[in-house]
């Protein structure tokens, strides 16, 4: 049994820290006579202590938008949610004929055929035909002119996708997007009628992002290039990096926030999740290679400060220490103590 030279007074709220009446500055030690065999002890360790703050974000596929059908008729085939559609792929069928996805920044708005007035839409079509390999002999010049070489390339392309090889491209036969898209939800059903302007799908980038509304008064939490740890709904933890921070402040209720975008370091780590809440651990402070003990081994001195009980030569010695960073149930300590020393965990 431990003799009453160390008197326990109160349980302090932070980490179960015990209070003692005996003063002990960081350089003073006091020996107590005790039986040590049955005491709970742990070693002083040298480790890194990291303080974090937890934020909440939404994991989603980036840049969601709506893809609009531009042909009249009846829907005869639709893509499945989650499909990734790229240049030259069939995105849907209307009246049994394919609608093709091409890459470009402007929608098709007129009939394109040999002899049509020069225009950027002709150039966009030629760029795609060349990228898809329908100008093997190099006879087609990618410009704003629809020439006989353009017509040959169009016919070859039409034949390859199962269209009549007329050399004429009607509005709506191709849909332009700026990059490959991931198919989301479609409001359409196979067999439903469509007219130009009918929403066909919600689409997004195949890449995922995390949206966080960060406190505008704490911009240092999520700066460009900051790396964080993200806990997914299946409890896996993955890394993400801040790629964009809004320049303007948004008011949400009584909070001033900035929209902050993060990308997963492993782009394929969470493709099963969309519009899903996630937790984000942001490192706020790091102290490397410090001596640390469990918080519940600290004894709070009645006049202020802390001590720990250290087992030395079969006796328990009360050692005054100074504390630093607290993290993950550990406390940074300095004083007359060394790595590997055994400290008592009060019962």
- Mind listing the domains of the chain with CATH numbers? 8-51+287-344 (2.40.420), 53-62+206-285 (2.40.30.170), 65-204 (1.10.101.10)
- pLDDT of 37: 72
- pLDDT of 28: 52
Q: Residue 130: which H helix or E strand, with range? A: helix 120-131
- pLDDT of 272: 86
- pLDDT of 91: 98
pTM value is: 0.70
Mean pLDDT rounded to a whole number for the chain: 89
- pLDDT of 4: 32
Contact 274, 313 (CB under 8 A): no
Q: pLDDT, tens digit, for every residue of 123-149?
A: 999 999 999 999 989 999 999 999 999
DSSP state of 33: -
Q: DSSP secondary structure string, 145-209?
A: ---HHHHHHHHHHHHHHTS---S-B-TTSEEEESS-EEE---S--TT-EE-TT-EEEEEE-SSEE
| Banded pLDDT at 14 (limits 50, 70, 90) | very low
pLDDT > 90: what percent of the chain? 78
Phi/psi zone of residue 217: left (φ > 0), alpha (ψ -120 to 50 degrees), beta?
A: alpha
- What three-state secondary structure class fits 127? helix
**Rounded (5°) CA angle 231-63-107:** 160
Between 174 and 10, where is the model more confident? 174
Q: pLDDT, tens digit, for every residue of 257-311?
A: 999 999 999 988 888 899 999 999 999 888 999 999 999 999 999 888 999 999 9
The answer to whether residue 25 scores a pLDDT higher than 70 is no
The answer to whether residue 211 scores a pLDDT higher than 70 is yes
- pLDDT of 316: 92
Sign of CA dihedral 164, 168, 170, 175: positive
How many angstroms separate the CA atoms of 205 and 184, rounded?
10
- pLDDT of 347: 79
The answer to whether residue 18 scores a pLDDT higher than 60 is no
Q: What is the arithmetic mean of pLDDT over 3-26?
A: 40
| Banded pLDDT at 34 (limits 50, 70, 90) | low
């Amino acid at each position: 049994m431990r003799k009453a030279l160390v008197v326990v007074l109160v349980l302090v709220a932070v980490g179960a820290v015990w209070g003692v009446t005996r003063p002990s500055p960081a350089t003073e030690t006091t020996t107590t006579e005790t039986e040590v065999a049955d005491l709970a002890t742990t070693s002083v360790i040298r480790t890194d202590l990291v303080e974090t703050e937890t934020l909440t974000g939404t994991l989603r596929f980036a840049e969601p938008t709506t893809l609009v059908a531009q042909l009249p008729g009846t829907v005869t085939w639709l893509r499945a949610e989650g499909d990734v559609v790229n240049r030259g792929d069939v995105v849907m069928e209307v009246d049994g004929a394919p609608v093709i996805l091409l890459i470009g920044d402007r929608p098709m708005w007129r009939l394109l055929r040999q002899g049509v007035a020069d225009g950027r839409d002709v150039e966009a079509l030629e760029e795609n035909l060349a990228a898809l390999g329908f100008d093997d002999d190099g006879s087609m010049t990618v410009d704003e002119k629809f020439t006989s070489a353009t017509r040959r390339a169009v016919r070859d392309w039409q034949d390859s996708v199962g269209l009549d090889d007329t050399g004429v491209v009607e509005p709506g036969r191709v849909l332009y997007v700026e990059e490959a898209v991931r198919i989301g939800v479609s409001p359409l059903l196979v067999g439903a009628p469509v007219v130009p302007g009918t929403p066909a799908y919600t689409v997004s980038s195949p890449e995922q992002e995390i949206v966080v509304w960060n406190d505008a008064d704490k911009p240092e939490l999520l700066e460009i290039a900051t790396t964080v740890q993200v806990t997914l709904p299946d409890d896996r933890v993955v890394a993400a990096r801040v790629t964009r921070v809004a320049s303007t402040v948004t008011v949400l209720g009584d909070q001033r926030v900035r929209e902050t975008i993060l990308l997963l370091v492993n782009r394929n780590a969470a493709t099963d999740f969309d519009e899903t809440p996630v937790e984000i651990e942001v490192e706020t402070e790091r102290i490397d290679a410090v001596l640390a003990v469990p918080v519940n081994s600290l004894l709070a001195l009645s006049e202020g400060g802390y001590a720990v009980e250290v087992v030395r030569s079969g006796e328990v010695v009360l050692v005054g220490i100074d504390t630093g960073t607290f993290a993950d149930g550990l406390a940074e300590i300095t004083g007359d103590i060394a790595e590997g020393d055994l400290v008592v965990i009060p019962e």
